[in-house]
Amino acid sequence: MTDHPAPKSKEDPPCAGSQPPQTELRLERVRRPGPELLALLAAYDEEAFGVVGLRACDLAVMAEAGAVFVAWQGEEVAGACQLLRMLDEPEFLYLVGFYLRPGWRGRGVGRRFLELVSQESRRLGAQGLLLTVAPDNARALALYRRFGFAEERFVPDFYGPGEDRYLLRWRFEEGVDGQCMIEDPGRR
C-alpha cells in the first residue's frame, strides 16, 4: 500500500461551502489499495454512480490491471477515477468512474482533477481519453466539453436497462486543456 493520509470515513462530512480549497489538490496512483481504502472508494463510487458504481473487488482489479487515482484535498478524498488502456486502441485510455465528492463540486476542483489526470495520461503515452457520461449529467458534460471531449455516439442501455450513456473522446492534439472546444449553450 502506498503512503497517504488515513482516509476519512464515509460518515465524515465532505468539505462544505463555496470557498476555494485551502490546499493544493494532489493526485495519487494507488497501486495496492488495502481493504479499508477499497471499501471507502467503493462507497464513494456508489455515492456517485449508484448501482453501476464499482465494487471493492472491481477496484482491486482496476488497481492491478489499470490504474486507480485518488484526488486528495489535504487528508480528504475529494474524488477518484480509474484508467484502462484500450485493447483495440492502445493509444487511448478509458477514463472510468471519474467523480468528485459532493462537497468539492462547483469549486474548480473537478477542472484541476481532470487536468492532473490528463497530464498523467500523457505521461503514460496516451494520445487521448474516452469516457461515458449520463445524458442528464449536465455539470459533467459541461466540464468534459470545455476540455475538448466530443461525442462519438449515444449508447442506449450501456450499463443495463435505463442506463444510457454518451461515449465521449478527447484527442489531446485537438484541444488545449480547459479551453472550450464545443460551444456550451449555458455560457451565452
- Res 23: pLDDT: 72
Pairing relation of β-strands 67-73 and 76-85?
A: antiparallel
- Res 121: pLDDT: 97
Greater confidence, 182 or 102?
102
Kindly report which listed range (7-11, 99-103, 184-188) carries the lowest average pLDDT score.
184-188
E strand segments, the chain:
25-29, 67-73, 76-85, 92-100, 128-133, 150-155, 165-171
Q: Which domains does the chain have, with CATH numbers?
A: 25-187 (3.40.630.30)
* pLDDT cut 90: percent of the chain above it: 79
Residue 9 has pLDDT above 60, yes or no: no
Dihedral sign for Cα 165, 122, 41, 98, please. negative
- Res 103: pLDDT: 95
Q: What is the pLDDT of residues 23-62, one digit of tens each?
A: 799 999 999 999 999 999 999 999 999 999 999 999 999 9
pLDDT band at 20 (very low <50, low <70, confident <90, very high): low
Residue 187 has pLDDT above 60, yes or no: no
pTM above 0.85, yes or no: no
